[in-house]
Chains A and B, each alone.
Chain A
Amino acid sequence: MIKIKIRKAVKKKKYIFLAAMAFLAVFLIWWAVSGTGAVKEIFLPKPSSVLQYYVGAIQDGSLWENTRISVIRITLGFLIAVVLGIPVGILAGTFKKIEAVIRPLCEFIRYMPVPAFVPLIMVWVGIGESAKVTVIFIGTFFQLVLMVADDAMAVPDDLINAGYTLGADTKKAVFRIMIPAMLPRLMETLRMMIGWAWTYLVSAELVAANTGLGYTILKSQRFLKTDAIFGGILLIGLLGLITDRIFAFLNKKLFPWVEGGK
């Protein structure tokens, strides 16, 4: 008899418990290793040092200020990518001629490493806020277009054909069938993309920044302040997790009709 079955269901409570234990285990290992003094503080700070860094950074207001500016940069870069990328992606996923124009080009550009664009962006748009927003935009836009196009293509042909045989013209088939049908997938795509946007933050803040979470990490590296590096990385991870959960929650609330939804 098979005792351990592939994809066997697990109770939600147990799932959450296991997830919490994993976090706790990593924390304990960190705490234990750093506590013994076997590893120098400069390589691995104690949890208490990171906490101390947080306390200090909250007290002098820098933590809040850096978080705020980073969130604004991500939001702007991501929003512009979304506003431009979604219509382009839908068009590419709907009409083959438009796809031919857009897809190969985007496939090409998306393989270019974003940090490599940084010097170019500095030349193009200077070193102000727009430069940071541009980096996040470039990092997400091309990928987003391709993924939205795939979302549009994933709408079953016969769903659209059913619309045609019920009297819809192509415009109505796009607006009343394709777009509503692809919305849940689109939200999933946005959820993934916002995760990527967080990873581009550090690249963005390479551009002559003197604020932001990415900048804090880079600055701390110069002074070998590992506690601050840890603090910054952990905070970005946490913010990423929060945005991810918000998207997941919205998806569940907005699209209760999705088949096979949990």
Chain B
Amino acid sequence: MRMFGRKKQQLPERHEHIEANLANSTIYVKDLQKVYPSPKGDVTAMKDVNVNVLENEFVCIVGPSGCGKSTLLRMIAGLDEATEGQIVIHDRDIMGPGADRGMVFQSYTLFPWMTVAENIKFGLKIKNMPPQEQDIIADKYLKIIKLEKFRDSYPKELSGGMKQRVAIARALANSPEVLLMDEPFSALDPQTRADMQLLMRQIWQEEKPTVIFVTHDIEEAVFLSSKIYVLTSRPGTVKKAVPVLLPGERDLSLKDTEQFIKLRKEVNLLIEHESL
């Protein structure tokens, strides 16, 4: 069963921000549209959304609230259905959720009856991976998120930031083709949030996962990503894809550099025009 019909057969006009080398792309979103039925008639929440995410790319999606950035991510995850359009991951049309697209949610979603290690191993267990291999992978990611000491703790013993670190480890341990992150740090305090951004950037430097990260925090987007998609307000569509030409190795002092501030202002301006 096809989930999304391809109704528009004519070639779409080339969006300048979509790189021509689609062969390289991990996720390819084409002419996506989302319409909600309502008593007053259909509401178009999103239309003509085109996104292209390359292998090992860290892409952030920002936009005014209500622009559908989280919905877009959930559609890529297969948790939400598009009304029209196409989402392709490595040449396959996506049909519902799957282990190839790991996700970290805004809310805390660790399984509370499992220890930290058991949470990280959940996806591997589902795949029937031999227990020894599961342990090796769990240990590797416990080290990456610096929570070795909490291996056998239950989620209730962890702080919010620690929970999200485990959620990231749990998704990555499953070696997904793309890691989807839906405002994962928005419930954290500013200090923890900055620490998490730094850790996330380090993880990306070392592991080079393909990431799509939704946030409403522009500074966060600029700091983390290699490319930012700015969405317009409802009906949400891609306003601009902004390449983030900053050094690969990043630390928090980057946020004070002229280059960074300039980029942040540029993205800010794009969104401000939308909120008016």
Measured CB to CB, the residues of A under 8 A from B are 156, 158-159, 161-168, 172, 176-177, 180-181, 183, 255-261
Contact = CB atoms under 8 A, between A and B. Distances in A.
8 contacts: A158-B105, A159-B109, A161-B103, A165-B98, A165-B103, A166-B126, A257-B112, A259-B156
B150 interface: no
B155 interface: yes
Contacts of B109: 156, 158-159, 161-162
B155 A161 contact: no
Contacts of B4: none
Contact of A181 (B78, B96, B113, B123): B113
B109 to A, nearest CB: 4
B166 to A, nearest CB: 11
Contact of B99 (A166, A181, A260, A261): A166
B156 A257 contact: yes
A166 B79 CA distance: 12
Interface of B: 77-79, 96-99, 101-103, 105, 107, 109, 111-113, 122-123, 126-127, 154-156, 167, 170-171, 174, 176, 180
A165 B99 contact: yes
B113 A158 contact: no
B155 A165 contact: no
Contacts of A158: 105, 107, 109
A257 B126 contact: no
Given A156-B109, A161-B79, 17 more contacts: A156-B107, A162-B105, A162-B167, A163-B122, A164-B78, A164-B98, A165-B77, A165-B101, A165-B102, A166-B102, A166-B123, A166-B126, A177-B111, A180-B111, A257-B113, A259-B155, A260-B156
A166 B119 CA distance: 11
A162 B112 contact: no
Contacts of B96: 164
Given A156-B107, A257-B155, A161 B113 contact: no
Contacts of B155: 257, 259
Q: Is the contact region of chain A dominated by helix, strand, or loop, or is it mixed?
A: helix
Contacts of B107: 156, 158
A165 B170 CA distance: 11
A161 B97 contact: yes
B39 to A, nearest CB: 21
Contacts of B174: 166-167
Contact of A258 (B111, B112, B170): B112
For the complex of A and B, the 4 pairs showing the least CB-CB separation, nearest first, are A167-B99, A166-B123, A164-B97, A162-B109
B229 to A, nearest CB: 21
B142 to A, nearest CB: 17
B102 A181 contact: no
Contacts of A156: 107, 109
B182 to A, nearest CB: 9
Nearest to B126: A167
B76 to A, nearest CB: 10
A257 B114 CA distance: 8
Contacts of A259: 112, 155-156
A168 B96 CA distance: 12
B77 to A, nearest CB: 6
A235 B170 CA distance: 52
Contact of B112 (A165, A167, A168, A181): A181
A158 B107 CA distance: 8
A167 B173 CA distance: 12
A33 B102 CA distance: 70
Contacts of A255: 113
A257 B127 CA distance: 25
B131 to A, nearest CB: 16
Contacts of A165: 77, 79, 97-99, 101-103, 171, 176, 180
A183 B114 CA distance: 13
A156 B107 CA distance: 10
A237 B98 CA distance: 52
B70 to A, nearest CB: 11
